Amino acid sequence: MGSAQQADTGTRPSAGVLQANTVGEGEMVQLLDAAGARRQDATFGPYVDALDADTLRGFYRDMALVRRFDVEATALQRQGELALWVPVVGQEAAQIGSGSAMGAADYAFPTYREHGVALTRGLDLADLLKLFRGVSNGGWDPRGVNFHLYTLVLAAQTLHAVGYAMGIQRDLAADSGTEPAAVVAYFGDGASSEGDVHESMVFAASYNAPVVFFCQNNNWAISVPFEVQSKVPLVNRAAGYGFPGIRVDGNDVLAVYAVTQWALEHARSGRGPVLIEASTYRVGAHTTADDPTKYRRNAEEESWKGKDPLQRMENYLRAGGLADEAFFDQLKIDGDELAAHVRQATLALGGADIRDKFATVYAEAHPLVAEELAWFENYEASFADAGSQTSQGGAA
Amino acid sequence: MTTMTIAKAINEGLRATLANDPKSFLMGEDIGSLGGVYRVTEGLKAEFGAHRVMDTPLAESGIVGTAIGMALRGHRPICEIQFDGFVFPAFNQITTQLAKIRTRSDGQLSAPVVIRIPYGGGIGSIEHHSESPEALFAHTPGLRIITPSNANDAYWMIQQAVACQDPVIVFEPKRRYWLKGGVDTDNAPADPFTAQVVREGTDATLVAYGPLVPVALAAANAAAEDGHSVEVIDLRSISPIDFDTVEASVTKTGRLVVAHEAPTFGGIGGEIASRISERCFYSLEAPAIRVGGFHMPYPVARVEGHYLPDIDRMLEALDRAFAY
C-alpha cells in the first residue's frame, strides 16, 4: 500500500488531484471503467493493488448488503412501519469505498443517507431505523462505532467534524501517545451551498485540521439539479481554501477507497484537510415522500443505471476470477438474513416513553423539567384512578 | 475579599478555569493578542498560549459548530461571541445542534460548551451592539442561561458554567463591565441557577437581572424614601428560572414588578408574571407588571435613554402596583 509520503512526492500528480494552487476542472479518478475493467493510476492504483481478494469481495458484499437493506427499509415504510425512508440506491460505492478506507480510530460525521458508511463502521443497521420509526432522534451510541448521529439540518455536521478533528489535534498536543486519527465529514451537493460548509473549510484550513471533506455529488438536492448549486465541479473549491481536492468516480468503489485512503493518510500525518468530490447519482427518490418523475427525465435515470456501482464491481470480480457463483449465491442468502433481522428488530421496537424524553433534555437536574414531569405523572395517574387506559397523547 | 471590576472578575474566573481544567480553552474573535474588544481576556494568551486562547476566523457559526465537535471529543470550549447582535449567525448551531445533542443521543452524549455573550445597551453604540436576545435562547430547551450582575458572581459563574455538564450561555452585562465589587475567591456563592434576594422588603417584589440589578436597587432606595419597602431579587439564572425564590417573596409582598432591557413582548418578564400569577394568585394585591424595552428594534443611541428601563420607569411601575 502506498504511503501518503509517496503519494505526495510523486513527480507528477495523478489526474484528478487538484493541488492547492491549481484552478480548473480536474479529471475524475477512476480505477474501474463502467464495464468493470481495471484502469491504471500511478498515485491511487497501488492502494488497490495491495488488497487481497477477500477485501475486494468484501467491498462488493457490503454494497450488496446495504442495497438489500435499503429495499427492506423501503418496504417497511410502504407497509406503514416507518414514517419515512431515505434511500441510498446508486451511492453504495461512494459510501462503502470511503467508509472502508477509515481506520478504527477515525470518526465519521454523516448526513442522514450514509447507511453504507454505517455498515462499514460496524453499526447494526437496524439501529438506523429507530429514527425513521419515530422512537429516537438518534438510535445508537456514536462513541462505540465512531459514527456520529444523523444530522438533519444539513451542513451543521461539517463544523462538528472539523471541531472533532481539532479535538484530535488537542489530544495529540497534550499526549503524544494519542493514536493519530482523522475525521470524515460527509455532505452532499445540496448542502455544499450552506454557509456552514464554507465555515467548516475555513476553520479546517486555518487550523490544518485532520479532516476529509467527502462530498457525494448525487446531482440532485431533492428536486433541484446540481447546476443550481454550482456552475463548476465542487472540487474546484478546495484550491480556494488552500488544500488538495480530488474528484473521483463515485460509482467506482475501488477508486473511492483509494482516494479516501490517500486523503486520510494526508490528514492523519498532519498535512491538513482534503476535499473529495465523488460523482454519483441518486437513483431513487430523495425520500419515500418524494416523486422524481415531477422534476427529472427518465433518460437521465436510465443513463445512470448503466453506471451501476454493483454491476461494475461484479464484472470486475467475475472477470478476474475473484469470486465464484457460490459467493454470489451465499451473498443473496446473507442479504435476506440481514433484511429479516432488520425487519424483526424494527417490529420489535417498543414505543417511546415520554418520561425518558424528560430525562434526557439536560445532563444535570433541572427544576422546570422535574416540575413538568411531576405534573405529567399526576395527569397520567388521574386516568388510572378513573379506571381507564393510560393516555397516549393522541399518538396511538 | 478583593475588589475588582466585573470585567476583571470574569478575567480572573477564566484564568482560574484555564489553570484548573487542562481540557478547557477559550475561542473567539480578537480574544488573543487584543484581549477581546472589552479586554475581558486580556493577558490570558500571554499566560496560557495561543493553544488555550484561540483567535478564530470571523465566523460565529464556525465558532460554535467547531466547539460542539471539540466538546464531543471531551474538550471544554469557552466561546466568546463579540456582541449580542452578532450571535445570530450561530443561532442555528446553538438551537438546532448544541441544545439538542443530549436529547438526540437519548442522553448518551453531552456537549458542555460555554458561550459568553456581552449584552445589553446603555453604551451609546451603533446597531447590533446593545441588544438583549436572552429570551430567544431561554425558549430553547437544552440550554442553560445565566447572567451575573456583580463581580463576585462574575468570577464564579464562568467557572461554574464550565464545570456544568450542560451547554451554558453566560450573558455578560457589558455596561457594568467596569462596575467594581468585592470578590471572595475562596468561597463559591450559591448555585448559579438560583435567584438571590439582594434587598429585603415587605411591600413589593422587584425582579431584575444583569445590568438592571443596580437600577432596581436604586429604585428600591428611592421608593423607601416614599415609605415603600421594596424587595429586590437578582434572578441570576434565566434558564432555569428560580420561581421558588420569587414565589416566596411575592407571597410575602403581594406585588410583583419584573424589569429587563429586552422587549416586554414575549420576554422573560411575561414568563415570570404568568408563573407567579398561578402560584401566588391568592397573595397578589395587584397584577404583575413588566418594565422593559419597547416593541422596536433596539433604537439609536441618542434615544436609548427612553428605551432602557431606568429608576423612574421602575418607580412608575411600582406606583401602578401600589395603586391597586
pLDDT tens, position by position, A330-342: 999 999 999 999 9
pLDDT tens digit string along B140-167? Answer: 999 999 999 999 999 999 999 999 999 9
- Catalytic: which of A61, A237, A247, A286? A286
Q: Does B65 touch chain A (CB under 8 A)?
A: yes
Enumerate the CATH 3.40.50.920 domain ranges in chain B, comma separated: 196-322
Q: Is A295 an annotated catalytic residue? A: yes
CB pair distance less than 8 Å for A174 and B107? no
Search chain A and give the residue with CA nearest B167.
A362
What is the predicted ipTM?
Answer: 0.97
Average pLDDT, chain B: 98
Among A107, A160, A207, A371, which would you mutate to test the B interface (most chain B Cβ atoms within 10 Å of its Cβ)? Answer: A160
Structural domain contains residue A393:
no
Continuous segment of H or E residues that includes residue A274:
strand A274-279
Decide if A216 is inside a domain.
Answer: yes
Query: Which pLDDT value is given to residue B258?
Result: 98
pLDDT of residue B197: 98
> CATH assignment of B196-322?
3.40.50.920
pLDDT tens column, A54-94: 999 999 999 999 999 999 999 999 999 999 999 999 999 99
Which domain, by its residues, includes A361? 354-385
Give a yes or no: residue A130 inside a domain.
yes
Confidence at residue A388, expressed as pLDDT on a 0 to 100 scale: 53
- Given this model, what pLDDT does residue A298 score? 86
Q: What is the pLDDT of residue A16?
A: 60
Q: Could you give the CA distance from residue B200 to residue A5 in angstroms, rounded to a whole number?
A: 72
A370, A293: one domain: no
Q: Identify the band that residue A8 occupies on the pLDDT scale cut at 50, 70 and 90.
A: very low
In chain A, which among 85-114 make CB contacts under 8 A with chain B? 109
Inside any domain, residue A202: yes
Q: Residue A277 sits in a domain of what CATH number? A: 3.40.50.970
- If one counts the domains in chain A, the total is 2
Answer yes or no: do B70 and A363 touch at CB < 8 A.
no
Predicted local distance difference test score (pLDDT) of residue B16:
98
Higher-confidence position of B109 and A1: B109
Per the domain annotation, does A391 fall within a domain?
A: no
- Report which of residues A4 and B264 the model is more confident about: B264
pTM: 0.95
Active-site annotation holder among B51, B75, B128, B129: B129
pLDDT of A306 above 90: no
Q: A359 and A214 in one domain?
A: no
One domain for residues A339 and A269: yes
Strand ordering across the sheet containing B230-234: B196-199, B230-234, B204-208, B256-263, B289-293
Q: What is the pLDDT of residues B197-223, one digit of tens each?
A: 999 999 999 999 999 999 999 999 999
Q: Are A311 and A367 members of one domain?
A: no
Say whether residue B302 is in contact with chain A using an 8 A CB cutoff: no
pLDDT bin (cut points 50, 70, 90) of residue A23 is very low
Sort strands B196-199 and B230-234 into parallel, antiparallel or unpaired: antiparallel
**Cβ pair A44, A265 in contact under 8 A:** no
Please determine, for residue A3, whether its predicted confidence score (pLDDT) is greater than 70: no
Question: Quick one: A278 and A315 in the same domain?
Answer: yes
**Lowest pLDDT segment from A29-38, A90-99, A107-116, A122-131:** A29-38
pLDDT at A87: 96
Asked if A287 and A184 sit in the same domain, the reply is yes
Task: List strand residue ranges (DSSP E) for chain B, in order.
Answer: 2-5, 24-28, 53-55, 76-80, 114-119, 144-146, 168-173, 180-183, 196-199, 204-208, 230-234, 237-239, 256-263, 289-293
Considering chain B, what percentage of its residues have pLDDT values greater than 70? Answer: 100
Average pLDDT, chain A: 92
* Pair A254, A360 in one domain: no
Tell me the CATH number for domain B2-183.
3.40.50.970
Size of interface A-B (CB pairs under 8 A): 142
* One domain, residues A376 and A247: no
